[in-house]
């Protein structure tokens, strides 16, 4: 059986096609939802679902009933799907729940600075149950999370872990090394080994920014493998699982996520931020469907685009925001591998600093940092040791533009400590991926 079939790309299709042709009279089940194909940037396409039906004369079975959401939310999602031009299935979604009471609230803005009023709306909307705020970009998610935290609203952020695997995290890598030390060469993880490694992890990483997420990842493996645990299975698990897979809905904290990373999750109440959203393509509309279909009871959309203008129903309330929109006073960025000069963290001084560095630790900016012949902005440790340079692309495409808009780099901290494999010298290095906080300078135009 092939699951999430709508997400496969051409290479995966070629492999599946080869397996089917080589096998003798196989029974193959492909499960997928063409309405949730939102990964074209990875090469996925609904073409392969159509090919599967055509080439193998497959029988199509549809499961149109939605048991997650109230009927009103299901009806609203049908109205969104109406605008898709190339759906593989024609029937509407059917509400599996008979209980009504769902609602949709759309706030329309004239301007581009939606974040602050959206945060105020969320903070003033008291709803019991699980909640999520979904955005298009990581930067928007970071900003929303920071603004909510500033006014005392607890959040859990699903953003910023692009470019590395869970197994690359220093915390997870250290846990695996502890397991290897205790089990020897057998590869079999006894319950006593497992419990000892967890106790060790709790003692050594209780102050990590990612302690709860990493512990949830570890517990998830334990749940999937309750009887027999093997090191080879743990390695496969830690290399395949995504960070967002461990973050589950929590009534005590609001999940803040990009729309892509929320796929597969569900919440009682969903808030969607759509800032300058381009909805011209079918995939962009499918992403809106994926986002709105995360909601079980209520859906709240904050938008400055016209997509929802023609959609109406008695359970939909619409509001035109009349307040003044101001640019945010603060922006946060979590830098990826592409944003930092990785080679700058290979210098002996940087390696020395990295031996004792922890997530959450303060970093200091340096406008002209000297690494050999390079003199560009970067970060150093609080003990004055040069740690890293920003990459040229980051400086040109992100750093300089935000400075030109009247912001300054106010602070920096260690967000992730990860391992990076350098192909040039066939070595693995510990590196830092920082979080930068930019603040609006006084007397700059609004």
pLDDT digits (tens, 9 = 90+) for 179-236: 999 888 889 999 999 999 999 999 999 999 999 999 999 999 999 999 899 999 999 9
Distance of CA 266 to the CA centre of its chain: 15
Phi, psi of 3 (to 5 degrees): -100, 160
pLDDT score of 168 more than 90 = yes
Q: How many CA atoms lie within 13 A of 208 on its CB side?
A: 22
State yes or no: pLDDT of 130 exceeds 90.
yes
Please give the Cα distance from 81 to 441 (Å, whole number): 44
Question: What is the mean predicted confidence (pLDDT) over 406-414?
Answer: 95
β-strand 386-389 against 374-380: which pairing, if any? antiparallel
User: Span 283-306, mean pLDDT?
Assistant: 97
Which of 406, 412, 369 minimizes the C-alpha distance to 391? 369
- Token pair, residue 198, equals 């967890």
Tokens 């959040």 map to which residue?
155
Give the Cα separation of 282 and 20 in Å (integer): 30
pLDDT on residue 311: 96
Q: What's the pLDDT band for 332 if we cut at 50, 70, 90? A: very high
Instruction: Record the tokens describing residue 303, joined without a space.
Output: 């938008």
Share of the chain above pLDDT 90, in %: 75
> For residue 160, is pLDDT > 80?
no
Mean of the per-residue pLDDT values for the chain? 92
Over residues 280-294, the pLDDT tens digits come to 999 999 999 999 999
Question: Tens digit of pLDDT for each residue in 30-48?
Answer: 999 999 999 998 899 999 9
Q: Tell me, which fold does domain 65-161+247-320 have in CATH?
A: Rossmann fold (3.40.50)
Q: Which bin fits 324, alpha (ψ -120 to 50), beta or left (φ > 0)? A: beta
pLDDT tens per residue, range 362-402: 999 988 776 656 678 999 998 868 899 999 999 999 999 99
Q: Where are the domains of the chain?
A: 5-55, 65-161+247-320, 166-241, 330-440
The two tokens of residue 171 are 């915390």
pLDDT in tens, 231-268: 999 999 999 988 888 788 888 899 999 999 999 999 99
Burial class (CB within 10 angstroms; exposed 0-12, middle 13-18, buried 19+) of 367:
exposed
pLDDT band at 21 (very low <50, low <70, confident <90, very high): confident
Report pLDDT for 444: 63
- Report the share of the chain in percent with pLDDT over 70: 97
The pLDDT value given to residue 367: 82
- Give counts: helices (H), strands (E), the chain: 13, 17
Region 123-135: mean pLDDT is: 96
In the prediction, which pLDDT does 319 show? Answer: 96
Mean pLDDT of 149-165: 85
Looking at residue 390, what DSSP letter applies? B
pLDDT confidence of residue 371: 60
| 235, containing H or E segment | helix 231-240
Q: Are 409 and 355 in contact (CB under 8 A)?
A: no
Domain 330-440 has CATH 3.40.50.2300: no
Q: What pLDDT score does 273 carry?
A: 98
> Among candidates 71, 146, 133, 142, which has minimal Cα distance to 269?
133
pLDDT at 445: 58
């Amino acid at each position: 059986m092939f699951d999430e079939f709508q997400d496969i790309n051409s290479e995966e299709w070629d492999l599946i096609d080869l397996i089917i042709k080589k096998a003798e009279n196989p029974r193959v089940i492909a499960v997928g939802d063409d309405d949730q194909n939102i990964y074209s940037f990875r090469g996925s396409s609904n073409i392969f679902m159509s090919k599967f039906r055509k080439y193998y004369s497959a029988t199509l079975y549809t499961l149109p009933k939605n048991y997650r959401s109230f009927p009103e939310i299901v009806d609203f999602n049908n109205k969104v799907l109406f605008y898709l031009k190339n759906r593989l299935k024609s029937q509407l979604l059917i509400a599996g729940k008979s209980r009504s009471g769902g609602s949709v609230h759309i706030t329309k803005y004239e301007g581009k600075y939606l974040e602050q009023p959206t945060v105020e709306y969320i903070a003033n909307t008291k709803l019991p149950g699980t909640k999520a705020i979904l955005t298009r970009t990581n930067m928007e998610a970071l900003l929303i999370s920071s603004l909510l935290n500033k006014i005392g609203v607890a959040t859990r952020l699903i953003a910023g872990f692009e470019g590395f695997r869970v197994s690359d995290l220093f915390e997870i890598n250290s846990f695996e090394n502890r397991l290897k030390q205790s089990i020897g060469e057998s590869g079999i993880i006894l319950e006593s080994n497992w419990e000892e490694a967890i106790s060790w992890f709790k003692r050594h990483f209780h102050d990590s920014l990612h302690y709860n997420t990493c512990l949830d990842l570890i517990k998830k493996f334990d749940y999937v493998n309750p009887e027999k645990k093997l090191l080879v299975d743990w390695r496969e698990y830690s290399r395949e699982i995504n960070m967002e897979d461990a973050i589950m809905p929590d009534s005590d904290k609001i999940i803040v996520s990009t729309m892509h990373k929320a796929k597969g999750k569900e919440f009682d109440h969903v808030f969607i931020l759509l800032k300058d959203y381009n909805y011209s393509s079918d995939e962009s509309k499918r992403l809106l469907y994926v986002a709105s279909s995360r909601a079980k009871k209520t859906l709240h959309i904050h938008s400055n685009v016209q997509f929802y203008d023609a959609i109406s129903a008695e359970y939909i309330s619409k509001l035109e925001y009349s307040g003044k929109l101001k640019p945010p006073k603060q922006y946060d960025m979590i830098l990826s591998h592409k944003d930092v000069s990785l080679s700058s963290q290979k210098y002996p001084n940087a390696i020395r600093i990295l031996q004792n560095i922890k997530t959450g630790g303060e970093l200091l900016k340096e406008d002209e940092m000297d690494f050999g012949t390079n003199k560009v902005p970067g970060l150093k440790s609080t003990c004055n040791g040069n740690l890293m340079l920003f990459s040229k692309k980051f400086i040109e495409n992100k750093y300089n533009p935000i400075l030109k808009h009247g912001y300054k780099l106010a602070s920096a901290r260690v967000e992730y400590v990860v391992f990076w494999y350098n192909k040039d010298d066939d070595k693995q290095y510990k590196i830092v991926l920082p979080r930068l906080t930019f603040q609006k300078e006084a007397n700059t135009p609004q």
